[in-house]
A and B are shown apart, each in its own frame.
Chain A
Amino acid sequence: MHKKLFLAPAVIAVAALLAGCSGGGSTAGGDGEPVTITYGIWAGTQTPAMQEIAAAFEKENPNIKVKVVESPWPEFWSTLQTGAAGGTAPDAFWMLAQQIRPYAEGGQLLDISDAIESEGVDLSNYPQAVLDLYDQGDGKIYGLPKDVDTNAVWFNKALFDAAGVEYPADDWTWEDFRSTAKALTDADAGVYGVAAPIDYQSGYYNTIFQAGGQVISDDGKTSLIDSPEAQAGIKFWTDLQADGSSPTLQQLSDTEAETMFEQGKVAMYMSGAYWALKIYDNKEISADVDIAPLPTGKKQATVSSGITNVGYIGTKHPEETKKFLLFASGEEAAKIQAKNGAVLPAFKGTEATWMAAMPEFANLQVFVDALEYSVPLPVQGNAAEWQGLQAEYLTGAWTGEESVADATKKYAAAIDEVLAG
C-alpha cells in the first residue's frame, strides 16, 4: 500500500516527462485546419492596439488565430534569445534595430521578401531611414516597420508660466535651450529645467548629429564619438549637469526622467513620440504639456528608429506568419495603432489619424515634421552591447569628474573593440 502511494507521483512525473517530449509534433496545421501563431511584444501602452490588430487579422483570416504574448521589457530580450536558441520563440515578434544583428547573423529570422513581392507591398510607404536600419546587407528583408520615432522636447507649460519663462520657439538654439533650462530651475522647490540623463537615443546622439558629428564611421568599423563634433554634442548635456539645471545622475537613477517629467519635477524632457499616449493618459499633467522641436545646433537633426515586426525561422507556420507580419505592418494595422494613439505608425499617410487621437496635444505635428531632418539611429555591430557600455564610460563626464575628451576617448576605444568583435 505504502509503496503504491509513493510510486504514484513518480509515475505521474515520468508520464509528464514523456508527454513533454512528444508534445512538439501535434500541431501541424493542414489546409483549412485552424492554426495559432504567437506574437511576442514587450509590455506597455501599446498592448490594446496590438490585440486589436490581432483581432482584425483573425477576422480576415478565420483559419489563423493570433495570440499576443507580452513580457516585461528586460525579460523580453533574454526570453527571446533563449527561446530562439531552444526553438520556443514566438512565431512573430517585435524587433529593434540595435538588437537585430545577432538574430539575423545567426539565421534566426524569417526572410519575408518573397511574400513582399507576391503581395505587391510598396516599400515606399515606409520611411527609408527605418528600412535602412534593419537592412543587414544580405539581400533579405526580415520585416517591415510598424512605427517610427523621432525626438522632440516635451515641456510643462505650467512650470514655464510659474518661472515666467517664454515657451520655446520653433527655431531655438542650443544657447536658448541651456538658458531656458537654467531659468526654469528652482532647486529649493525641487524643480529642474531639464532632465539630462546619459541617454543615447533620446539624448546625446541627437546633439552629436546636430553638432555635425557621427557616433560610428560610415564603414561601421570605428567609433567617432571622440571627434570634436561628437564631443560638442556630449558637452551639451554635461553643461546642463554642470549648471545644476538637471537632477543629478543619482536622482535620475532612482527616478527615471520620464517619471520626473510626469511628476512635474522636470520642466523639459527631450524624448520620443512613443511617450505621447502615456503622458496623454496622465490627466494630472496632460493639459499642461506641450511639444517643441529639438533645439538647433550647427544644424537640425534627430535620430530616428522604429519597431519592426519580424518572424522566427523556427515557426511551424511560416506562410501564416508572413501573412500576419505583412498585415501587422500594413495600412490597416497602422490605422489601428494611430486611432489608439499607441504610437506614430510607420505607414505613410496615417500620421493625421495618430494626431487626431490626442486632440489636446496640438503640436504632435512636430514629431512628424522631424522625419524630414531625421538620421538613422546608429546601430552598427552588436549595438546593444556597445550602447550598454555608455554608463560605464560616460558617467565621469556627466558628473564632472572626468573631461568629456578623456571619457569619450576611452568610450570610443571600447566601442571599437566591440565592433571588431
Chain B
Amino acid sequence: MTASTLRAERRLRRSALGGRTDWWALAMIAPAFIGLIALYLVPFGTTFVKSFMDVPVFGPGEFNGVDNYAKLLSDDDFWRALGNTALYTFFVLLGIPLAIVFASLIHQVSRGQALYRVLFFLPVVTLPVAVGMVWRFILNGDFGLLNYVLSLVGIPGQYWVADDRFTIYAFAVVGIWMGLGVNLIILGAGLQGISPDLYEAASLDGAGRVKQFFSITLPLLSPSIFFVTVLTTISAFQMFDLVFIMLGSVNNTALQGSQTIVYLFYEAAFVQFKQGYAATIAIVLLVVIMAVTAIQFRLQKKWVTYD
C-alpha cells in the first residue's frame, strides 16, 4: 500500500465515523443547544439591536444610531454606578484569600469536614431576599445588632445601609459572606487533588506548615483560585439584589449614591420604561465584563500553574 492510499483510507474511515457520530452528537446537544439559542442567543441579539433603538415599553421602537451610547457615556449616574460596581467587585475579590484560608483549615480537619462545608454553604442556598432582610436588620443604624456591638467597645455606629459612604462596604461584606460557600467547595475540591505525598516529601525536607502552604498548596491550587476569581468577578459585576433589597425603598437616601450597573439597568427598563437605553447598559456591562475577564486570562499565564 502506498502512502497516498493509506491517507485516503484513513480519511474515508474518519468521515464515515464522523457521519455516524455527528447525528448522535447533534441529537444529544440539541436540547442544550435549542435552550442556548432560545434563552441566550436570541435575547442577546434583540438586546444588541435594541441598544441602537429608542424603544417604548410596548410596541416597536425606532433606530436612533449610537444616541443611547453617547448618552450613557455622558451620564454621571453611569460612571458612578460603574465606580460603585468596580469597588464592590474589588472588595468581594478580597473574599477569595479568606476562602483559601478557610478551605485549607477545613481540609486539615480530620473529622466533620462535610459539616463545615454545609455550614459555610448555607448562605448560598438561602433566598437572597431573606439574606438581605436579615442583614438589613443587623446593619440598621438605630436598632441594628452591629451598631450595638460596636457601642460595647466604644465605636460610634453608622447608618450602614442608609449612608452612601458605607453602603458599598456593607454590600461587600454580605457579598463575601454569600459567596464563601461556593468558593469553599471549588477550592476544597482543588485541595483534594493535591497529592499528600508532596507534603510528606516536603516535611521530610524540613519545610514547615507555612512554607508548605506557599510552596505546595498555593501553586497547585492556582487553577482553582483562578477559576473562582473569574466566577466571582463576573457575578460581582452583575450585582443587583443586594442594592434592591438592602436599601429597601426608592426613598432610601443612599440609593442614588449606591447604584450598581445592573440596578441602573433595572431603573431604566422598569421605572423609566426606556428599553433601548436599558439594552445599551446591558451591552456596555457585557463589554466591561468581557474586557476584565480577558485581562484575567492574560494575567493568569504569570501565576497559574498547570501540571
Q: Chain A interface (Cβ within 8 Å of chain B)?
A: 3, 6-7, 9-10, 13-14, 17, 74, 77-78, 81, 84-85, 102-103, 105-108, 190, 197-199, 249-256, 382, 384-385, 388, 390-392, 395, 399
Inter-chain contact B253/A10, CB cutoff 8 Å: no
Chain B contacts for A250, CB-based, 8 A: 141, 159, 162-163, 253-254
Give 27 CB contacts A-B under 8 Å.
Answer: A3-B24, A6-B28, A7-B28, A10-B30, A14-B31, A77-B270, A102-B58, A103-B58, A105-B56, A105-B58, A107-B59, A199-B251, A249-B253, A250-B159, A251-B142, A251-B159, A253-B251, A254-B140, A254-B144, A254-B161, A254-B162, A255-B142, A256-B248, A382-B272, A382-B273, A388-B267, A395-B256
Identify which of residues 93-150 in chain B touch chain A, using a CB-to-CB cut-off of 8 Å.
Answer: 136, 140-144
| Nearest B residue (CB) for A10 | B31
The 10 closest A-B pairs by CB, nearest first: A106-B58, A253-B162, A13-B31, A250-B162, A253-B252, A250-B159, A78-B270, A249-B253, A10-B31, A254-B162
Chain A contacts for B256, CB-based, 8 A: 391-392, 395
Supposing A6-B28, A106-B58, A254-B140 touch, asked if A391 and B253 sit within 8 A by C-beta, the answer is yes
Shortest C-beta distance, A272 to chain B (Å), equals 16
Q: Is B244 an interface residue (CB 8 A)?
A: yes
Q: Is B2 an interface residue (CB 8 A)?
A: no
Report the separation of the CA atoms of residues A249 and B141 in the bound assembly, to the nearest whole angstrom.
12
Chain B contacts for A399, CB-based, 8 A: 253
Inter-chain contact A385/B28, CB cutoff 8 Å: no
Shortest C-beta distance, B152 to chain A (Å), equals 19
Q: Is B271 an interface residue (CB 8 A)?
A: yes
Report the separation of the CA atoms of residues A385 and B277 in the bound assembly, to the nearest whole angstrom.
14
Chain A contacts for B273, CB-based, 8 A: 81, 102, 382, 385
Shortest C-beta distance, B145 to chain A (Å), equals 13
Supposing A17-B34, A74-B244 touch, asked if A256 and B58 sit within 8 A by C-beta, the answer is no
Inter-chain contact B159/A254, CB cutoff 8 Å: yes
Q: Is B287 an interface residue (CB 8 A)?
A: no
Q: Is B27 an interface residue (CB 8 A)?
A: yes
Q: Is B35 an interface residue (CB 8 A)?
A: yes
| Nearest B residue (CB) for A107 | B58
11 other A-B residue contacts (CB within 8 Å) besides A255-B143, A385-B271: A14-B31, A78-B266, A103-B58, A250-B159, A250-B162, A252-B251, A253-B249, A254-B136, A384-B271, A391-B252, A391-B255
Chain A contacts for B57, CB-based, 8 A: 81, 85, 102, 106
Partner of B272, one of A7, A107, A385, A392: A385
